[in-house]
Amino acid sequence: MSFDNLAPILGEALAERGYEALTPVQSAVIASDARGRDLIVSAQTGSGKTVAFGIALADQLLGEIRGTPLSVKPLALVVAPTRELALQVSRELGWLYAKAGLRIATCVGGMDASKERRALRGGPAIVVGTPGRLRDHLERGTLDLSGLIGVVLDEADEMLDMGFRDDLEEILDAAPGQRRTLLFSATLPQPIVRLAERYQSDALRLSLAGETRGHGDIAYQAITVAPSEIENAAVNLLRFHEAETAICFCATRESVRRLHTTLQNRGFGVVALSGEHSQSERNQALQALRDRRARVCVATDVAARGLDLPTLSLVIHVEIPRDAETLQHRSGRTGRAGKKGIAAIVVPFNRRKRVDGMLRSARISAEWMDAPSAEAIRAQDHARLIEKLTAPTEYDEAERAVANELMSRMAPEDIAAALVQAHRSKMPQPEELLANTPEAREKDKAERHRPGFEDVVWFKMGVGRRQNAEPRWLLPMICRRGHITRNEIGAIRIGQSESWFQVPRAIAGKFADALARTASGDDDQDSIVIEESPEGPRMEARKNRKHGGPVVGAKPLRRGPAGKPDKKWKAKGKPGRPSKR
């Protein structure tokens, strides 16, 4: 295959890599109107962006080296949001420029900084790194950006989301004014546009994302379930699709730990990725996925950014994304480079309206459906087993000798049954899910109702999410203030500035009396107002939305060295009293 618009050494590298033609984004960056200009490129993940910015800078890079692969100062800088993505970019550029002999240095957090300094002194033409580590080398004087002819910001929207704005601005301010700046991003929110306006000149905007923001190679499914069935639905989705590699997204580290344990106990080959894992643990988890020792990854949004797993064909949003952009970034891990993928959003019954709005905002068309039932999974298993066992296969003499011995000892039906049993014993059992009907939902709600809490009184307290309130910290305080036990506290609802909890009506009077006696105690937390809330959290939330809501002037909950709240945490003012801040 001939690549007429490229330098011969790059064309040869692409042909050896199996390229038959350039992807749309790769063709766009070397078109006549794009050559030599700053670019803002909006393209989906998996569309060949790394090779695209590699060939976009090729004319200047190959012109500058003039026959020698060594460079006194780096000529090109690529900034990526995560270690994994930076290492992936470095590998891609490595084979692309291998025939030119260009050296590439990689600078990422969690690696040996002394080795990176030696690599930077070795005359690399291209430096690839993460914002924090690049800024560190820049401030230490080990990275000289004065010779740059081009800067690439890869996944720029993710870098801004992750809080790297200051790092990026310091890096870009240190680069020469007469340089090309190529900004690649799956989406172009307003912060990206403002960054481009500040650091680019007469930039050409290339949008290769198509008419909709949804990825054309991803089939979106919205799976409605009872709130108590979320983890079971994830189990059944994994079993139904039996993807070569799948990723389950959770919102917090704690959720990752819980789901990872659940899947591990059920027999899945699973690894976890979250902010609490070291770089070594991350590397081991990713290697297990690439080696097929694990087929499922449970991760938070940030931990999964920059992952490139070619065999990933299933993404499960176990916990609903916080917005449309997060939905797109999560789902973009699959359906890459022309391959098909499935993105399944597990939607509790009471969150359907929110997910519906999110999908409309993202201009994504999803198929609403029930979670796969145990019967449907068994039918899939049956079809897959028959297909696997009847596929043409060659057997050696030793295998046939064992087969003949088995035939002499057992009936053919028994041999086949033993084979089926051996196959099924390796597979996690599907879960029996609650039927998706109003009657089943009411029954589930009744079964989950705690005995003794049929008749309750709601109480509210003047702290909420803004003060970092959490049930595990509120429970001991409620018990101490009201002279009751944990078992006598029902549901807890935490709002922005207030929290509510249930107490059985039979002890509500005694509880209120204890609150009055302890309101003037020595502990600073005793100043937090706790009072009866006749209407409960739902009605009060409606009133707050209608009238703008109360503002509580409470200080944020301060953490001690063990992560527990500081005992000096106290509230200023009362619920409904505007804060002076």
* pLDDT one digit per residue (tens) for the chain, 581 residues: 457 778 888 988 888 888 888 888 888 899 888 888 999 988 766 678 889 999 999 988 888 776 555 667 899 999 998 888 888 899 999 999 988 888 999 999 878 889 999 999 888 999 999 999 999 999 999 999 999 999 999 888 778 877 788 899 999 999 998 899 999 887 777 888 888 888 998 889 988 754 444 455 789 999 999 888 899 999 999 999 999 999 999 988 888 998 999 999 888 999 999 878 877 888 888 889 888 899 999 998 877 766 767 788 999 999 998 888 788 888 887 876 567 899 999 999 888 999 999 999 888 899 999 999 999 999 999 998 888 888 888 888 898 999 999 999 999 899 988 888 888 888 888 888 877 767 666 666 665 666 777 788 999 998 887 887 888 788 888 998 999 988 889 888 888 888 999 999 999 999 999 988 888 766 667 778 899 988 777 665 555 555 554 433 344 444 444 444 444 444 333 333 333 33
pLDDT score for 575: 38
CATH number at residue 475: 3.30.70.330
Residue ending a domain, among 323, 347, 376, is 376
Q: Is 357 found in the same domain as 308?
A: yes
Residues 168 and 235 in one domain: no
CB atoms within 10 A of CB 124: 22
Beta strands in 11-98 (DSSP E): 39-42, 76-79
256 CB contacts (<8 Å, ≥6 apart)?
250, 272, 273, 274, 298, 299, 300, 303
pLDDT at 237: 96
Nearest to 374 by CA among 179, 233, 581: 233
Domain check: are 306 and 162 in the same one? no
What does the pLDDT read at residue 557? 44
- The verdict on residue 422 lying in a domain is no
Assess whether 226 and 134 both reside in one domain.
Answer: no
Q: Tokens for 91, please give them.
A: 């590998």
Residue 182: strand pairing partners? 39, 152
Region of residue 72 (phi > 0: left; psi between -120 and 50: alpha; otherwise: beta): alpha
- Token pair, residue 334, equals 């699959």
Sheet of 456-461: strands edge to edge? 492-494, 499-504, 456-461, 530-532
pTM (whole model) above 0.75:
no
- Residue 313 inside a domain? The answer is yes
The number of domains in the chain is: 3
Rounded Cα distance, 221 and 344, in Å? 5
Q: CA–CA distance from 63 to each of 60, 97, 118, 316, 519 (Å)?
A: 5, 13, 25, 46, 77
Query: What tokens does 30 get?
Result: 């070397």
* Helical (H) or strand (E) element with 353: helix 352-361
Asked if 289 and 358 sit in the same domain, the reply is yes
Same domain membership, residue 360 and residue 482: no
Is 243 part of a structural domain of the chain? yes
Asked, for residue 45, whether it belongs to a domain, the answer is yes
E-assigned strands of 349-404? 366-370
CATH number assigned to the domain comprising residue 165 = 3.40.50.300
Pair 155, 126 in one domain: yes
**Minimal CA–CA distance to 217: which of 25, 364, 410, 379?**
364
Are residue 185 and residue 242 in the same domain, yes or no? no
Q: Which domain holds residue 477?
A: 451-547
